[in-house]
Amino acid sequence: MNDRIDPWPSLKISAWQDTCATLHLWTQIVGKLRLAQMPLVNHWWQVPLYVTARGLTTSPIPYGARTFQIDFDFVDHRLVIASSDGRIAGIGLAPRSVAEFYRAVMEQLASLDIAIAIWTMPVEIPDAIPFEQDHAHASYDPEYAERFWQVLVQGQRVLERFRARFLGKASPVHFFWGSFDLAATRFSGRRAPDHPGTAPNLANWVMREAYSHEVSSCGFWPGGGGQDAAFYSYAYPQPAGFSDAIVRPGGAAWRQDLGEFVLPYDGVRQAADPDAAILDFCQSTYEAAADLAQWDRQALERGAEPIRR
């Protein structure tokens, strides 16, 4: 990594609120293209994006006998569409409306002889505007887009270490474009009751598939709606007493309005050992969920690996 790059940069939402909102919608356009083409995998694991050494990627998407992938490059600030027949297309990442971005992406796909129809209504966003009609969100600050990606790089790296401690079923560390967060989820192996909640423009059966089995989930959310970035952890179904559990490190707290534990990102980046702080948060909140719900921890866990410094 370039020594000039701060691995834990400041990411105050007040400094990039408009860019964050616009980028959230851009990732939904790209993510919905993947959703349209990929076969259903349990818990919607076929739809997220993945952190790369330059940004976010869809990974390969099937299209007939070809594949293609779409990458957000937050170093050169380009959206790159690469096809398995050797052709490449793309657009610059710069201030432009969601409607303009949507049109440009579809035009670049057409130049590669790729035609995919998507539902253009954003999901999990209140008061959403169809992509092709959204001229309100049009911000892109390259510095903060790069900072956002840098934090995802760090979050991915640490969450992979946490994931490696678990022998049971566990999700990849992946970026959900609906909720706009990096997530890693552990499963007890038991079925869960039908999920009762819904999110804007998201059918309840979608949530039921996502939470069909008992989970403990942690991850990173970059902020939005005036709230700053944070690491989070929750359980579904939430066991009795979970919200009263004592978790670590200092600064972590239960948020009743969110129904989850939160560790503010600012506290992490200022910690003497940010990696250890995140791992401690993930481990202590998982232990609270697993113990209260009586998971078979002996069968499911590998144990903690040493903290490398």
Q: Where are the domains of the chain?
A: 16-133, 142-300
CB of 66 closer than 8 Å to CB of 60:
no
**pLDDT at residue 1 in the model:** 42
Measured CA to CA, the distance from residue 216 to residue 291 in angstroms comes to 11
The whole-angstrom distance between residue 27's C-alpha and the CA centroid of its chain comes to 10
pLDDT category of residue 137 using cuts at 50, 70 and 90 = very high
Mean pLDDT computed over 199-211: 94
pLDDT category of residue 76 using cuts at 50, 70 and 90 = very high
Which ranges of the chain does DSSP label H, i.e. alpha helix? 13-37, 98-111, 142-163, 204-210, 265-269, 274-292, 297-300
Q: What are the structure tokens assigned to 88, written together? A: 């490449």
Q: Give the chain's mean pLDDT.
A: 96
Mean pLDDT computed over 71-91: 98
Residue (of 80, 78, 61) closest to 70 by Cα position: 80
Measured CA to CA, the distance from residue 91 to residue 104 in angstroms comes to 7
C-alpha angle 61-149-30 in degrees, rounded to nearest 5: 30
C-alpha angle 33-37-39 in degrees, rounded to nearest 5: 135
Residue (of 123, 117, 138, 124) closest to 21 by Cα position: 138
Global pTM value: 0.96
Is pLDDT of 304 > 80?
Answer: no
Angle formed by the axes of helices 274-292 and 142-163, nearest 10°: 50
pLDDT category of residue 23 using cuts at 50, 70 and 90 = very high
Is pLDDT of 307 > 60?
Answer: no
Measured CA to CA, the distance from residue 239 to residue 255 in angstroms comes to 16
Q: Is 45 exposed, middle or buried (0-12, 13-18, 19+ CB in 10 A)?
A: middle
Is pLDDT of 3 > 60?
Answer: no
- Which position has the token pair 């694991």? 45
| pLDDT tens, position by position, 226-274 | 999 999 999 999 999 999 999 999 999 999 999 999 999 999 999 999 9
Measured CA to CA, the distance from residue 95 to residue 290 in angstroms comes to 45
The residue type of 200 is: P
Tell me if the bond preceding 48 is cis, omega within 30° of 0.
no
Q: Is 46 exposed, middle or buried (0-12, 13-18, 19+ CB in 10 A)?
A: middle
Measured CA to CA, the distance from residue 125 to residue 144 in angstroms comes to 21
